[in-house]
Amino acid sequence: MMVVAAAVETEVEAEVEAAEKKRSGEVRRCCPKTGTDMEGWLVLDGYEDEPAAFGVPNYLGFHIRYICGVLESRNIPYTYMTIDQWRLNHKKRLQNPSERAALKRELSELDGAVILAGAVVPGKYIRGTPISRKELDEFLATFPHEQPVLAGGWAIRHWRHDGWMPLRTNLFCTVQDTDATLNHFLNTSEWSHKRRNSEQWNEWAIAGAQGKCVTQHPDLKTVDGAPGPLTFEVEIYQGCVRFKRGCKFCIEPKKGVPIWRDESDIIKEVSAALDNEVNHVRIGGATDIYTYKADGVKELEYPIPNPEPIARILHGLREDERIGILHVDNGNPSIVAENLEPATEITKTMIETLSDGAVLSFGLESADPVVHKENWLNCNAEQLQIAIRHINEYGRERGERGLPKLLPGLNFIAGLNGETKESYDANRRLLDGLRSEGLWLRRINIRQVEGQGFQEIPQDSFRAFKKGVREEIDRPLLEEMFPIGTVLREVWWESHEDRIRRPEQVLNSIHRDVTIHGKSGITFGRQIGAYPILVGVPYQIPLESESDIMVTGHGMRSISGVEIGLSMNSVTQAQLEAIPGIGSKAAWRIISSRAKAARNSPERPFNNLEQAFRDSGLQSYGLAEKVLIE
């Protein structure tokens, strides 16, 4: 009790001291734990993962940019911080009473806070993790009660619906647009749920593309100033063409009739981001890339795709040579299947303009006709098969990075109303049918429905279905799409030992040091883009760097590899062992032979690969010729 009382007393004293400083004009702006300045409003990016919006690193979402755009357009000082930066720099401070009090003093100098929590699609993330309800509660308990706090995003709405009621004054949880709600408060000093209009949408999008969420994002640049993996998620319209009777589990139909952005405004926004050293772009803010400015949206069950507007966007973006990776996200299989002729024009445009490795996410959710009917799902199994055949027909050719140009992805959701054991059997029959046709699916996403009003999931059937898909569908698909010996370019290395990047791998520079290259360990990385395949190599590579690899093996949802272009005069034993056909004994013999040869020629022990293998008593090169250089 004494410890708790002392901690409370320390915090009270801190708040009183901070209030007196504010009245006297003494303002302390520097946050000593990070070395960065905190000023004005704090914009805390808790990330978003919605059906048509993604903003978990290395992606930068558009809703957080609109919030920053409001402040930028008004020339109001603010501080942008990701939830991961908060965790790394401030979370531990909350455990120590004096550190907690110091943090509260720093926060008391701010004018307020805006928090975006938009992760409503469950997932596993490698590079960052969305804010949790517990973390938000901790932040609200720490942030001084005198300052206003605005919380927005679909996660906030879900939590409120589930009974979340934080005990805090000066907190407003908006159920409409966070950016417009903030703008209204700045105008009137009053809270009210607001929606942005078309003019505000464009203004804040372009201003946000130049804001601190871009220029100060931790993924924009590496520590040494090289281009980072940041990917700029772009919204081209909001809502869904199935607004009258959309999928019951999805939030997008609730947004009403689709509202389009103009092509020129979208290109201007991206150009502003490129001016601020963004390199990679994904058009993810659309429920269906085929229905951007489609005909008959209000009248037809299956609106007719309009190829010209989306072609103007894609060609307009691709003409800018500053863009590296350009990808899209969602497609509606029923629209493709029911409108093959105009859909084909759009597909061909994507093949011409997108970077290789592009993925169109197709949401079937369930192949069971009963589940389809009860949940108003957007396509049936027959329509899906037509759409998958269509994308495979045009998209399987490989591009510069070694990936197919465009492939479909497939989503299943468990727990929808009407689901039975037969539902999983129907899903499996569908997948087996696609495999029998030799069709490719880049990834199969199997998740459980979120929210209320749905039924219990038959766990035995669900687990059996998921296990069968991973072992009998996913792995054979990877073996076909990425056969051993395939070269993949520009893999970005993100974590050591575990697939999930840990805090110490960000804070400790040894993980980025070139001296660890080739040492024992495991490194995981991905190519930049939509739904990239996870690559693991059995040795250490400095993180936040990129290299080319050759595929050496397959997991259920990942592949193993070894870098190419390794010098045979500096390659390590761990790197040699990663090459198919060279085991630990052969690797050791090569290393030993090189050490002996170095006595006579220390700078160049081996003149060529043939000498290296001959001196080591090895007959077969295996795939070493594709990996090793002189």
Per-residue b or e along 61-74, where b marks 16 or more CB atoms closer than 10 Å to that residue's CB: bbbbbbbbbbbbbe
Is 558 in the same domain as 508? yes
Domain assignment present for 418? no
- By DSSP bridging, strand 487-496 and strand 546-554 are antiparallel
pLDDT for res 251: 66
The Cα–Cα gap between 192 and 176 comes to: 9
> pTM of the prediction?
0.91
pLDDT for res 18: 43
Confidence of residue 318 (pLDDT cuts 50, 70, 90): very high
How many other β-carbons are positioned within 10 Å of the β-carbon of residue 225? 7
Domain assignment present for 212? no
**For residue 603, what are the CA distances in angstroms to 618, 624, 627?**
23, 21, 21
Domain assignment present for 59? yes
Is 187 in the same domain as 260? no
Is 50 in the same domain as 123? yes
Domain assignment present for 365? no
Domain assignment present for 476? no
The Cα–Cα gap between 145 and 142 comes to: 8
Is 315 in the same domain as 185? no
Does residue 167 carry a pLDDT above 50?
yes
Does residue 267 carry a pLDDT above 70?
yes
Mean pLDDT value across residues 388-407: 98
Structural domain count, the chain: 3
- Residue-number span of the structural domain to which 271 is assigned: 230-355
Confidence of residue 585 (pLDDT cuts 50, 70, 90): very high
How many other β-carbons are positioned within 10 Å of the β-carbon of residue 200? 19
Is 244 in the same domain as 326? yes
Neighbouring-strand partners of residue 495: 524
Q: How many residues does the chain have?
A: 630
Domain assignment present for 83? yes
For residue 522, what are the contacts with CB-CB under 8 A and spacing of at least 6?
Answer: 496, 497, 536, 537, 538, 539, 540
Domain assignment present for 479? no
DSSP-assigned letters across all residues of 199-251: HHHHHHHHHHTTSHHHHT-TTTB-TTS-B---EEEEESEES-TT-SS--TT-S
Is 192 in the same domain as 241? no
pLDDT for res 240: 80
Is 63 in the same domain as 197? yes
pLDDT for res 247: 65
Is 191 in the same domain as 334? no
CATH number for the domain spanning 302: value is 3.30.750.210
Domain assignment present for 470? no
Q: Report the Cα 26 to chain-centroid distance in Å.
A: 41
pLDDT tens figures, 253-265: 677 788 899 999 9
- Average pLDDT over the chain, rounded to an integer: 90
Is 174 in the same domain as 235? no
Is 70 in the same domain as 125? yes
Does residue 15 carry a pLDDT above 80?
no
Mean pLDDT value across residues 487-493: 98
Is 250 in the same domain as 114? no
Which of these three, 321, 355, 389, is where a domain ends? 355
Confidence of residue 168 (pLDDT cuts 50, 70, 90): confident
pLDDT tens figures, 187-244: 999 999 999 999 999 999 999 999 999 999 999 999 999 999 999 999 999 888 776 6
Burial of 253 (0-12, 13-18, 19+ CB in 10 A): buried
Name the DSSP letter for residue 298. T
The Cα–Cα gap between 275 and 132 comes to: 33
Which of these three, 184, 201, 218, is where a domain ends? 201
Q: Helix 198-208 crosses helix 178-188 at what angle (to 10 degrees)?
A: 100
Is 156 in the same domain as 13? yes
| CA angle, 112 then 115 then 120, to 5° | 165
